[in-house]
Amino acid sequence: MCKILKSIYISLMLIVSPQIKAASDTCHPKINPRLPQYIAGYGSLIDEQSKKTTDSKAYENIPVLIKGFKRSWCAHGNMPGFNATFLSLNENKKGTFNGVIYRVSDPKEIELYDTRETVYCRKELSAEQIKIYTKKIPEKIQVWIYYPKSTQNDQPSREFPITQSYVDIFIRGCIKIEEKFNIKDFAKECILTTDNWPEQHWVNDRVYPRRPSAYEPYARKIDALLKEHLPKQFKNITIE
């Protein structure tokens, strides 16, 4: 009886295992290690300083416009002592947003990103989905973007506000890209190609950041951009 059950178990595993592997490959496809590997950044990774805390050996950010996704404040983050709503993506055929791509130092780094981004899938971007603002990059590369396994539609709330310290990192990165590559209105487009800016539930935590953060030298420029393009929301930001 035991032998029969063991035989059935092995047979089932042979049938199910490829399906499990296929599902895994769908979420994290195999890379081509012979090609340079790039990752798309759309939030805090736009900022070089923030990116280096994630991947200290990553190459320089390259400004791009990406098609096929919408960027939005739609992801609740629940960490000890720090509840907030973060930027995330949802697939959208008509969607576009500006951001960056950068090359990882070693193709094996992709596996580490996969491990770290447990609630995200990795999808390869086609050449048609990427518009480079400045210098050309090699034609034969792989560019990956991480996006939620399921559609995210979390709303900023009293318990999960968006925080100024995170907004600062995001827009600071956009301002630096604009200045470094002399791209007119790049920072403005970061704001305008991001959905779901809340009129409430936005806290100014610069003095005592909810997340570790240094003094924000770009605060005045960030505020000027926000006040110009999101006047109603900017007026209702609360200080804590």
Question: Residue 52 sits in a domain of what CATH number?
Answer: 3.10.490.10
| Predicted local distance difference test score (pLDDT) of residue 8 | 34
| Predicted local distance difference test score (pLDDT) of residue 15 | 34
Domain annotation covers residue 182: yes
Domain annotation covers residue 27: no
Domain annotation covers residue 13: no
Domain annotation covers residue 159: yes
Domain annotation covers residue 225: yes
The answer to whether 212 and 105 have CB atoms below 8 angstroms apart is no
pTM of the model as a whole: 0.81
Which of 5-14, 25-34, 94-103, 195-204 is the least confident region? Answer: 5-14
Q: Which domain, by its residues, includes 72?
A: 37-239
Q: Is the pLDDT of residue 155 over 90?
A: yes
Domain count across the chain? 1
Q: Is the pLDDT of residue 5 over 50?
A: no
Q: Is the pLDDT of residue 236 over 90?
A: no
Domain annotation covers residue 12: no
Q: Is the pLDDT of residue 1 over 90?
A: no
